[in-house]
Amino acid sequence: ESVEDTSKILGSMFDGIEVRGFSQEMVEDLGKYAGVPVWNGLTDEWHPTQMIADFMTLKEEFGELKGRKLVYLGDGRNNMANSLLVTSAILGVNITISTPESLFPEQHIIDMAKKYAEESGAIIDITTETTTAVKDADAIYTDVWVSMGEEDKFEERVNLLKPYQINKELTNHIEGEWILLHCLPAFHDTETVYGKDIQERFGIGQMEITDEVFRCPQARQFQQAENRMHSIKAIMAVTNGNLFIPKA
């Protein structure tokens, strides 16, 4: 069936739909035809519900978000980098994307973020540097090296992104208190079928983050993962119900 037809069927059965899929266009079409609220749980371009959990975690740790610095290292063109760039700009969080030049975010994403940053005062930095980028970070963030639909580029990405791995040598350059974030899954060891396969094919047992840093005292990825539940419940309640939200 077409997305339009399926949307109408699902919309007749449910009061709301959260979609964790692939195509951004498909999700937008679902929202157009379903007749009920549709929430983007993940697409190839954006990951907005993840953002609510991520910045909820930052707020739990630091209180005020405005003026904090978040550094993302890895693939600068994927849905996570896009979403972190724009959401940080909206909230006034200073954001640095540390990535190879060939993986810089697309210009229209950068332009969108800069527009929001003009209003919020956020500082946006896209760089190939790593050690200087993390120096004054409040939070460092990474994601898997190969995005959805690009599995055939694994060897290329591994070679390209090795210098952007979060490891102890890199975190030693951070001055002050900081936390680690990762949207998961993380390939920090070979305790998965996928991890074993990558080790056999490419001879590496750790990819975007080392096991040592993944388990360090600053790690907040499991707190962050728990917050997905709380934040998505809140989104659904606020946008699809009569929940009373007191003014803070």
Please report, for the chain, the start and end positions of each structural domain, with discontinuous segments joined by +: 3-43, 62-226
**69, 101, 160, 171, 178 from 136: Cα distances, Å:** 7, 22, 25, 11, 9
Q: CB of 236 within 8 A of CB of 245?
A: no
Q: What does the pLDDT read at residue 94?
A: 98
Convert the pLDDT of each residue in 80-109 to its tens digit: 999 999 999 999 999 999 999 999 999 999
Q: What does the pLDDT read at residue 245?
A: 65
Convert the pLDDT of each residue in 23-64 to its tens digit: 999 999 999 999 999 999 999 999 999 999 999 999 999 999
Q: What does the pLDDT read at residue 197?
A: 87
Q: CB of 70 within 8 A of CB of 93?
A: yes
Q: Average model confidence (pLDDT) for the chain?
A: 94
Fold of the domain spanning 62-226: Rossmann fold (3.40.50)
Q: What does the pLDDT read at residue 248?
A: 62
Residues composing the chain? 248
pLDDT band at 4 (very low <50, low <70, confident <90, very high): very high
Convert the pLDDT of each residue in 105-126 to its tens digit: 999 999 999 999 999 999 999 9
pTM for this entry = 0.92
Tell whether omega for the bond before 185 is within 30 degrees of 0, i.e. cis: yes
Instruction: Identify the CA nearest to 211 among candidates 147, 248, 168.
Output: 168
The fraction of the chain above a pLDDT of 90, given in percent, is 83
pLDDT at 244 over 90: no
pLDDT band at 144 (very low <50, low <70, confident <90, very high): very high
Q: How many CB atoms lie within 10 A of CB 104?
A: 17
